[in-house]
Structure 1
Amino acid sequence: PLCRKKENSRERRGSAAAGGSMPLSEYSLLKELGRGSFGCALLAKRRADGEMCVIKQVEIGRMSSEERREAEKEAGLLAKMRHPNIIAFHCSFIEAQERLVSSPQRSGGHLLCIVMEYADGGDLTQFLEKRRGSRLPESQVIGLLVQICLAIKHLHDRKVLHRDLKPQNIFLTKRGVVKLGDLGVAKVLQGTLQLAHTQIGTPYYMSPEIFDGRPYRDKSDMWSLGCILFELLTLKVAFQAPNMKALMMRVSSARHHPLPATVNPDLASITRQLLARQPSKRPSVNRVLRHPAIQRRLGEFLDDGSADRLLHGGKNGVSPSRVPSKETRSPDAHREARLGRGVLPRQRLSPPSEDVVKRRVRETAMKKREAERRHKAAQRAAEASE
């Protein structure tokens, strides 16, 4: 079987396979939770023990054999990301679309089905929508930030990037526990038309370097964290504009909306540093966790030993002995190290020129047209093979 039987209700396992019997028979499909260009998410109940879970279906019919193998491999890697603040990965398998009643398209292709933990409190977007007009208490913002940072730290310590951090991918349980979700889905979909639409359609959490066509890196995740923190503090997105061109200019120049004067100075400082235009000037997740305002709350979410290792070194921690001395430290590293004292000045950066913005818009449009051309060619090839 593609999903081996669960020996106990708390075991977390991961596998990726194709073909064979239909593991969906092990689940009762209850309802659709959401649908996007990539496929859909279904709420399900495992027949063996009644545990609720989410099954995400990703359409991979247009992928090459190599891309498909990479997608399966990536899904398997998700099983290694075990953390209290990360949505648990159960298993994955491939199903033929025509065999699924809930298939988003009846194209006769294949779906990668990813079975994951279900967070019964909804996502952060839904949570914030209920608060419109009433800002979150500072203690609640810090509590959410600490848990999100602990999840990101778990990924970054293992050289894994989330790539799609946004409130819709941060889930909550009814007990208030943060669960970072959709881990790896962006990488599974890399190079597909669906991902191209996602990048062009919802750029509110994308960093300036992505608009510039530079590679995604850990500091790109930190930019997205800054956008999320801004939203937690203000209930508004950090960057908003009447059209895509104006939004690209705002993001590229890091000209976010001003924070209210009533925002806690420590949280305001962290937000501004995370939204620095230059990636080297953004703090790492370890630096954020070692900020005094955050340190004071770590004990609520970690045992004493884990908190000590995080703050003072040890396994997966940040050891002070590894930080260069003030004399040998580079200017950028020295500036980053001062985050904890909240004294970094806000960067004043000039916006990109009109020609630069036009070039970026043209390049984005060309990439979209090329993706559509490849998609149509793949469809024609598939029809011809049938």
Structure 2
Amino acid sequence: MVFSTDRAEEFVGSGTYANVYKARNLETKQTVVVKVFKLEGPDEEEAARKEVFFMRQFNSPFIVKCLDSITDRKQFFIIAEYCECGTLDDMVKTAIEKKMKIKENQILSYLTQLAMGLREIHQNKILHRDIKAQNVFLTEGTRILKLGDFGVSKCLCFTSDMAQTITGTPFSLAPEVCSGQPYNYKSDIWGLGVLLYYLMTKRLPFVSNSMPTLLEMIKSGETAPISEFYSAELRDLCMRMLKKV
């Protein structure tokens, strides 16, 4: 399959509106990621154009870059930079398999990079709304990470604006979202806290097979303690990020 100058080499995954492929640019030989939206209705095209718009607002080494976008009326293609070391979730699952803890200095490095990427996003008045390990991509031997997937992101035109739609991954929803209340940038900080907890414990802070039960667990804010393998300062930071507003 060829996308303009990019040839697909490997199917990576799929989402609500799109399939994702690893591809190679036939001119530059650069490996890229191509997200393919089938334009079966106005929702698909709106989602694709919105994601491109968001990605082009950013200029951060900690956010996946949009390299190009193409449409042929039947499909819409987003060409983005490729991160060769997989996702942060892949790394955590490897640590689980090997029964290893992720070192604190590595977690601090990742947290700093994510915070810098998130600052860039928020400075552009955008909510990510789906911060999770599967949306964080690793490169340069897992030293550098990049936040990606802006498919459910939202623009807040003014600092005082609030979002109201319940969207994102259920396990990472902030309490105010679960309660149906308006929310803002603080909901992304909550998502970052969920991710930090996951890195330290290798489990999510709130888990249930029942959506109503999960929402009540999140609203209660009660989590299992974090291992004292990590410093009191880092554990306290995580708990403060998971504090209800």
- 1:238 and 2:202 matched: no
Question: Contact 2:39/2:76 (CA < 8 Å) preserved in 1?
Answer: yes
Q: Secondary structure at the match of 1:130?
A: helix
- 1:122 and 2:86 matched: yes
**Cα 1:93–1:234, aligned 2, differ >3 Å: closer, same or farther?**
same
RMSD across aligned positions (CA)? 2.4
How far residue 262 of structure 1 moved from its aligned partner, in angstroms, is 3.3
**Cα 1:165–1:127, aligned 2, differ >3 Å: closer, same or farther?**
same
- 1:152 and 2:152 matched: no
* Aligned counterparts of 2:49 and 2:208: Cα–Cα separation in 1: 38
**Cα 1:198–1:111, aligned 2, differ >3 Å: closer, same or farther?**
farther
Match of 1:81 among 45, 58, 61: 58
* Aligned counterparts of 1:49 and 1:236: Cα–Cα separation in 2: 41
Q: Secondary structure at the match of 2:80?
A: strand
What is aligned with 1:229?
Answer: 196
Q: How does 1:178-189 map to 2 (within 5 A)?
A: 178-182=145-149, 184-187=150-153
* Aligned counterparts of 2:15 and 2:45: Cα–Cα separation in 1: 20
For 2:62, give the aligned amino acid. N
For 2:23, give the aligned amino acid. A
Question: Contact 2:37/2:48 (CA < 8 Å) preserved in 1?
Answer: no
Query: How many pairs are equivalent?
Result: 232
Q: Secondary structure at the match of 1:221?
A: helix
Match of 1:51 among 24, 27, 30: 30
* Aligned counterparts of 2:239 and 2:227: Cα–Cα separation in 1: 13
What is aligned with 1:142?
Answer: 108
How far residue 38 of structure 1 moved from its aligned partner, in angstroms, is 2.4
For 2:109, give the aligned amino acid. G
Q: How does 1:188-337 map to 2 (within 5 A)?
A: 199=168, 202-278=169-245
- Higher deviation after alignment, 48-57 or 253-262: 253-262
Q: Secondary structure at the match of 2:40?
A: coil
Structure 2: gaps (5+ residues): 155-164
Question: Contact 1:239/1:257 (CA < 8 Å) preserved in 2?
Answer: no
How far residue 121 of structure 1 moved from its aligned partner, in angstroms, is 0.3
Match of 1:131 among 65, 88, 95: 95
Q: Secondary structure at the match of 2:195?
A: helix
What is aligned with 2:67?
Answer: 90
Question: Contact 1:76/1:92 (CA < 8 Å) preserved in 2?
Answer: no
**Cα 1:73–1:248, aligned 2, differ >3 Å: closer, same or farther?**
closer
Identical-pair percentage: 27
For 1:91, give the aligned amino acid. D
**Cα 1:95–1:197, aligned 2, differ >3 Å: closer, same or farther?**
farther
* Aligned counterparts of 2:120 and 2:86: Cα–Cα separation in 1: 22
For 1:94, give the aligned amino acid. T
What is aligned with 2:12?
Answer: 33
Structure 1: gaps (5+ residues): 1-22, 97-109, 189-195, 279-386
Question: Contact 2:166/2:178 (CA < 8 Å) preserved in 1?
Answer: no
How far residue 54 of structure 1 moved from its aligned partner, in angstroms, is 0.3
**Cα 1:197–1:59, aligned 2, differ >3 Å: closer, same or farther?**
farther
For 1:125, give the aligned amino acid. D
Greater fraction of residues in helix? 1
Greater fraction of residues in strand? 2
**Cα 1:63–1:257, aligned 2, differ >3 Å: closer, same or farther?**
farther
How far residue 223 of structure 1 moved from its aligned partner, in angstroms, is 0.3
Question: Contact 1:239/1:247 (CA < 8 Å) preserved in 2?
Answer: yes
What is aligned with 1:170?
Answer: 136
- Higher deviation after alignment, 258-267 or 147-156: 258-267
CA deviation string 1:317-344 (max 9, x = no partner): xxxxxxxxxxxxxxxxxxxxxxxxxxxx
What is aligned with 2:161?
Answer: none
* Runs (4+) off by over 3 Å: 67-71, 196-199
